[in-house]
A and B are shown apart, each in its own frame.
Chain A
Amino acid sequence: MRSNVFPAFQSDDRSLAKRILAGDEKAFEEFFEGQFPGLYRFALARLRDPDLTRDVVQTSICKAITHIKTYRGEASLTAWLFTICRYEISGHYRKNRRAPSPVELAEDQPEVRAALETAPMSFKGPEESLRRKELAKLVHATLDHLPVKYGQALEWKYVDGLSVKEIAQRLDVRPKAAESLLTRARKAFRDGYSSFGNDGGGLSLSPT
Chain B
Amino acid sequence: MNAETNGPQPIADPAEDDTVARLLRAAGNRPPVPSEDAAIVKAAARAEWQQTVRMERQKRRFTRLAGGLLAAAAAAILVLNTGVGDSLWRSVAPPVAQIATVTGKAVTSQVMIVEQNLHSPGDKLWAKDIVATASDNDTLPVRMVLQMASGASVRLDAGTRLLMQSSSALKLESGTVYVDSQGAKIELQTDWGMVTNVGTRYEVSVAPDKSWLRVRVREGAVQLADSQAKLQTISAGEELMTTADEPIVNKLSPCGPEWQWTQDTRLRAPFNVEEPLLHDALSWAAAEGGWELKFASRALAANIASTTVFGDIKDGSLEEALQVWTRSSNLSYRIEECVLHIE
Contact = CB atoms under 8 A, between A and B. Distances in A.
B6 A179 contact: yes
B149 interface: no
Contact of A50 (B27, B37, B49, B56): B37
Contact of A158 (B11, B21, B33): B21
A36 B42 contact: yes
A186 B37 contact: no
B139 interface: no
Interface stretch (A1-9, A84-92, A136-144): A136-144
Contact of A183 (B1, B9, B27, B29): B9
B30 A143 contact: yes
A71 interface: no
B304 interface: no
Interface string A147-187: 00001001101111111110010000001100110110010
Contact of B31 (A66, A140, A175): A140
A131 to B, nearest CB: 10
Contact of B45 (A37, A58, A186): A58
26 contacts: A21-B56, A32-B46, A38-B30, A41-B31, A41-B33, A58-B40, A58-B41, A58-B231, A62-B229, A65-B45, A68-B52, A123-B26, A135-B27, A140-B27, A143-B24, A155-B29, A158-B25, A159-B24, A159-B27, A163-B2, A165-B6, A168-B6, A186-B20, A189-B24, A207-B18, A208-B19
B58 to A, nearest CB: 12
Given A23-B53, A160-B29, A62 B20 contact: no
A61 B41 contact: yes
Interface residues of B, number: 48
Given A161-B2, A183-B9, A139 B24 contact: yes
Interface string B142-162: 000000000000000000000
B32 interface: yes
B22 interface: yes
A139 B11 CA distance: 21
B194 to A, nearest CB: 12
Size band of the interface chain A makes with B:
35 or more
B46 A28 contact: yes
A135 B53 CA distance: 41
Nearest to A144: B30
Contacts of A135: 23, 26-27
Given A140-B30, A143-B30, A207-B19, A164 B6 contact: yes
A171 to B, nearest CB: 13
A69 interface: yes
Interface of B: 1-7, 9-12, 15-34, 37-38, 40-42, 44-46, 48-50, 52-53, 56-57, 229, 231
Contacts of A193: 23
A48 interface: no
Contacts of A205: 16, 19-20, 23
Contacts of B48: 61-62, 65-66
B20 to A, nearest CB: 5
A158 B42 contact: no
Contacts of B50: 23
Interface in A53-73: 53-54, 57-58, 61-62, 65-66, 68-69
B52 A207 contact: no
Contacts of A157: 2, 21
A132 B26 contact: yes
